[in-house]
A and B are shown apart, each in its own frame.
Chain A
């Protein structure tokens, strides 16, 4: 019987033929924790009577969620992480290095066929590199740190076949918002998802990350793509390591196959307070916004900043809007500086914040006030997400956010390109 990508990776890592529904204990290639989850994992590690980590070369902590620390409570937790890392001798990415989901792919440690667990729900991002990577909690993370293993239930898979060509002004963010709106926030719960078709093949590697990043927003455990020359070209910049790609069998069994012609897609927004509450931008156009955010693990990469700068360059952000830009990593920040992108963004009126999660998760760096509306390139618009439950968050592509920052209201980016 043919197997899906996830069934193959789980078979490879557990040493037995795994099909949907099977429970396996698999070895993991990399284990990651961030500052929102690592402190509890350290506690669980101690609680499990863990002594050493399974492999110092294959674990990292990243300080990105509240980075630099906004208060004493967080500072104490950061200190606890630094001390633990020093004691156990593995890698720490400290403040300013970036969001975990950018830093890890850039580390060259993750690639086609890898199995990665991360104590962050958007760990599914590396599916765009043909890795089975998934979010876990702190206790599972601690178990992984000690044993290098983790138990999984091999999931069923939904396959999304995207054909056609994305029209100008419509990006991978619009595509994934469209799909989530279609299958809903729990449409893929307990399942894996695969994204394929000519529209995915035509996309840059950076654009692909945005899609896999948001697989969890339809409830999926993974958001997998096959590796191609673009995947390997992207990885070669960061590592010499060889990876063996894992493709689905022709006769693999999918629980659903959904087909889309993306040439008909329009720019999308997710309206408050749900990611699956999507609509074409045209439906919400004209709604005033007070804050705009470009960044996060969804859309803080070089290509995203370049798209935003393309719209903002030579123009000025509307005086009633605060535009916050958080590059997803130091590498991205440096590349964007070298290209003059940061110059354009700052001249247009952007406030730059440290590479990392920025205001995405509501701990600092731009908490909105009551009754304010934010338009953001992030992946979640839950009530209270950005630290104020009386604010509204719209999600959109970097182009839509940039266009809206210029006009002060939700705007179709096609007016500017």
Chain B
């Protein structure tokens, strides 16, 4: 999987209430509608600013808080290509992979707002085209690569009729 786009930067501990604000969660299953409000409490114009394939780039513990899958789904439906962070909260990380949103652990200090990035998941590297440097990606556990390659856990289940992670 390869992606290219611009970096939108956020800080540490971006929690699920920031990703999708309390005002909107739980009311609807229309993820396109929720996506319009993604990251709103941190950046009111985020949805307008982001172009398809752009990246959310953050610090440590991205996605901490709730288990709600509305969080990765809203990001995905806002057409964000991937989330890059120094570390992720565990449940968010699983949910992202399960729903087919690529999440990448790397040293995000080397990325500035607006930097043009090229992410090659298979090769395990990010090229920061603006800064002309490459950054290694911390590899995903193999089971997660398998689920992501299948297109998420639902697709994995459709393909195998259950878990096939042996």
Stretch at the interface among B18-26, B48-56, B111-119, B125-133: B18-26
* Size bracket, chain B contacts: 35 or more
User: What residues of chain A lie closer than 8 Å to B165, measured between beta carbons?
Assistant: 23, 25, 151
Q: Which B residues are CB-close (under 8 A) to A50? A: 157
Q: Does B69 reach chain A (CB closer than 8 Å)?
A: yes
With a 10 A CB-CB cut-off, give which of B22, B41, B67, B72 has the most chain A CB atoms: B67
* Closest CB in chain B relative to A192 CB, distance in Å: 11
Q: Flag whether A178 is at the interface (Cβ < 8 A).
A: no
> Known interface pairs A73-B27, A186-B60. Does A120 touch B13 (Cβ–Cβ under 8 Å)?
no
Interface residue ranges of A116-147 to B (CB < 8 Å): 119-121, 123, 135-140, 142-143, 146-147
Interface size on A, residues (CB 8 A): 56
- Does A189 lie within 8 Å of B87, measured CB to CB? yes
Nearest CB in chain A: distance from B42 CB, A? 9
Q: Specify the main secondary structure of chain B where it touches its partner.
A: loop
Least Cβ distance of A31 to chain B in Å?
13
Task: Report if A113 contacts B (CB, 8 A).
Answer: no
A219 touches B90 (CB 8 A): yes
| B1 close to chain A: CB less than 8 A | no
Residue of A nearest to B28 (CB): A73
**A65–B91 touching, CB < 8 Å:** no
A361-416 at interface with B (beta carbon < 8 Å): 361-363, 380, 382-389
Given A49-B158, A153-B141, A37 and B69 contact (CB-CB distance below 8 Å):
yes
Min CB gap B3→A, angstroms: 22
Q: Is B35 an interface residue (CB 8 A)?
A: no
A384 touches B157 (CB 8 A): no
The yes or no answer to B143 lying at the interface (CB within 8 A) is: yes
B64 at the interface (CB under 8 A from A): yes
Q: Binary interface profile of A, 65-81, with partner B (CB < 8 Å = 1, else 0)?
A: 11000010110010000
A-B contact pairs, 29 of them (CB 8 A): A36-B68, A39-B29, A43-B29, A48-B157, A48-B158, A66-B26, A73-B28, A77-B27, A121-B66, A136-B91, A137-B95, A139-B98, A139-B152, A139-B154, A143-B157, A146-B157, A149-B163, A153-B141, A186-B89, A189-B90, A221-B90, A361-B26, A363-B22, A382-B18, A383-B17, A383-B41, A384-B17, A384-B18, A384-B22
- Residues of B whose CB lies within 8 Å of any CB of A are 13, 15, 17-18, 21-23, 25-29, 41, 60-61, 64-70, 72-73, 87, 89-91, 94-95, 98-99, 141-143, 152-154, 157-158, 162-163, 165-166
